[in-house]
Structure 1
Amino acid sequence: MVTKMVQATGFKRILELCKAGRFREAEMILKGLQDEFLALCEENDVLKKQLGEVAEILDLSERIRFDGRKYWLDEDGEITGPFCQVCYDRDGLLIHLQARGPQWECSHCKSIFLETVPEQPSARQNAHAEKQLPLFMDREYA
């Protein structure tokens, strides 16, 4: 906003100088405005590039899934991966994990991810679940 005011007053000043026949001063102000314009164009290009990068990151964050150990990428319904959790969390890199027997290995950071079977509830957890009282009772107790 301030830049627009400076430009507007700069052009007004140039017009006044030209009317007064002070072309050399008008030329100097015009060169300054041109430099400012070119700097703003460069800044605008950088900001557009940054905005594009942020949009890509947001798009990726909507398509990536974490299974508790590794990341997976959903590309139009096709799941690809797995990807290294350490590299993605630390550096934002999607590094494919390599299958090495019962484990996955990251070729970039050398992290190892074990392939495990989902845990089954233990007998103690099942017994505890059976002892829970219902929220509502069928009959009243005195």
Structure 2
Amino acid sequence: MDPVTTTVAVMTGVTQAINITKTLKELDLKLNEAEGKLKLADLYIALSDVKMNVADLKAAILDKDDEIKQLKEQLQLQDEMQYNGVFYFRALGEKKDGPFCAQCFDSEKKLIRLHNYMSGWWECKTCDSRYEEDVNSGAQRRANTRVAIDYDPLDY
């Protein structure tokens, strides 16, 4: 049940409980005891419904709070990420963490750390993307992404 519907149900249940209580108060003492017990049973049922609806409302609010927290964390991560043309780095104050795979972050928002498997070469162990870093200029370029690699520099 969505929070608006649950709130309406809670208010309806509270109104019923109040009306039943007023009726009990106004009951003529001469009426038979069975009618009073019936009204009390109606009151218990109405209050039980209110209690269940309040619990549903609380669960819905907690779910929304979790969703808001996750969205805030995603926004913060997006703000912290810096792209240098090939790699992603995460800015943490004055420090930079990374490099992270651009393919994995762009497609799935996953921070997968690249591994320097050979001088000037970086590799993602998740998607098999490889990147080459030009040590003379400091520039990087993507070597390939999700493509079967025919040449492995470590293979002689």
TM-score, normalised with respect to structure 2:
0.68
1:3: how far off? Answer: 4.4
Cα offsets for 1:6-54 (capped at 9, x unmatched): 4333212212212323111121121111111101111111111111111
1:9 to 12, 15, 21: 12
In the alignment, structure 1 segments of 5+ residues that lack a partner are: 120-142
Q: Corresponding residue for 2:122?
A: 104
| Segments ≥4 residues shifted beyond 3 Å | 1-6, 116-119
1:114 aligns with 2:117: no
Which protein, 1 or 2, shows the higher relative CO under an 8 Å CA cutoff with sep ≥ 6? 2
Shifted more, 57-66 versus 109-118: the winner is: 109-118
TM-score, normalised with respect to structure 1:
0.74
Q: CA RMSD in A?
A: 2.0
In the alignment, structure 2 segments of 5+ residues that lack a partner are: 25-38, 141-156
Q: Secondary structure at the match of 2:112?
A: coil
1:51 to 65, 68, 72: 68
1:65: how far off? Answer: 0.4
Q: Secondary structure at the match of 1:20?
A: helix
Q: Secondary structure at the match of 2:123?
A: strand
Amino acid in the other structure paired with 2:47: L
Aligned residue pairs total 119
